[in-house]
A and B are shown apart, each in its own frame.
Chain A
Amino acid sequence: AQKITQTQPGMFVQEKEAVTLDCTYDTSDPSYGLFWYKQPSSGEMIFLIYQGSYDQQNATEGRYSLNFQKARKSANLVISASQLGDSAMYFCAMSDQTGANNLFFGTGTRLTVIP
């Protein structure tokens, strides 16, 4: 069974600084996808970045990058140059590419950007 672990319930970062949000996963499937979503207080889940298990390079999307360490089963999100609007809940999720592509989510990390 797939499992996602986010060990940081809350994180603080100074505006314009970089921050790393941790995510570890557990699966026996060789093929899977890893996602990060942002959930502001309004409630919608906003897709940020994707990493496939066979991708050789770490994914990047603007200020977001995913530090993928396959042997350690970790997929940490790095946000560079934090902005006040980055304050939100962040969820790591994994899809099972051998099955129905369901997403399994972690418990999330609440990021607060300090001016």
Chain B
Amino acid sequence: EAEVAQSPRYKITEKSQAVAFWCDPISGHATLYWYRQILGQGPELLVQFQDESVVDDSQLPKDRFSAERLKGVDSTLKIQPAELGDSAMYLCASSFGTSGGSVISETQYFGPGTRLLVL
């Protein structure tokens, strides 16, 4: 069964260091999402790609976060410098498209996530 791949699964870093997370979506999925989930809360969208283009990055803290999906397939999310408040689960998801109205196009499938701890 096709899955969204993410690495690393766990990352411990010190504040002010740089960290990077990688995501490989389900083959054929044009849309890729990065979410941040703080302990005890639901995930919140950071950035959304349609192929290689950013569709929505309004919630991405652009002074320290960056995301890219250069060839429209896999994606990297970077934090530089990391802060204590960045400790969270970072989830990647993918879907066929963004046009609504059907379970096939809309449903987002999530990877296992990366648990980040900033010390």
Q: Which B-chain residue is minimally distant from A89 (CB atoms)?
A: B42
A24 to B99, CA, bound (A): 23
Pair A100/B115 contact, Cβ less than 8 Å: no
- In the complex, whether A84 has a CB less than 8 A from a CB of chain B is no
- List, in ascending order, chain B residues with CB within 8 A of A95's CB: 100, 106
- In the complex, whether B66 has a CB less than 8 A from a CB of chain A is no
Pair A101/B95 contact, Cβ less than 8 Å: yes
Which residues of B are at the interface with A, using a C-beta cutoff of 8 A? 31, 33, 40-45, 48, 55-56, 89, 91, 93, 95, 97-103, 106-113, 115
- In the complex, whether A62 has a CB less than 8 A from a CB of chain B is no
Q: Mark A68-104, 1 if CB is under 8 A from B, else 0.
A: 0000000000000000000000010101111011110
Q: Which A-chain residue is minimally distant from B59 (CB atoms)?
A: A102
Pair B102/A105 contact, Cβ less than 8 Å: no
- List, in ascending order, chain A residues with CB within 8 A of B89's CB: 43
- In the complex, whether A31 has a CB less than 8 A from a CB of chain B is yes
Pair A45/B91 contact, Cβ less than 8 Å: yes
Q: Which B-chain residue is minimally distant from A42 (CB atoms)?
A: B112
Pair B106/A108 contact, Cβ less than 8 Å: no
Shortest distance from the beta carbon of A6 to any chain B beta carbon, whole Å: 8
Partner of B106, one of A46, A97, A105: A97
- Within 20-78 of A, Cβ neighbours of B (below 8 Å) are at 31-33, 35, 37, 42-47, 50, 52, 54
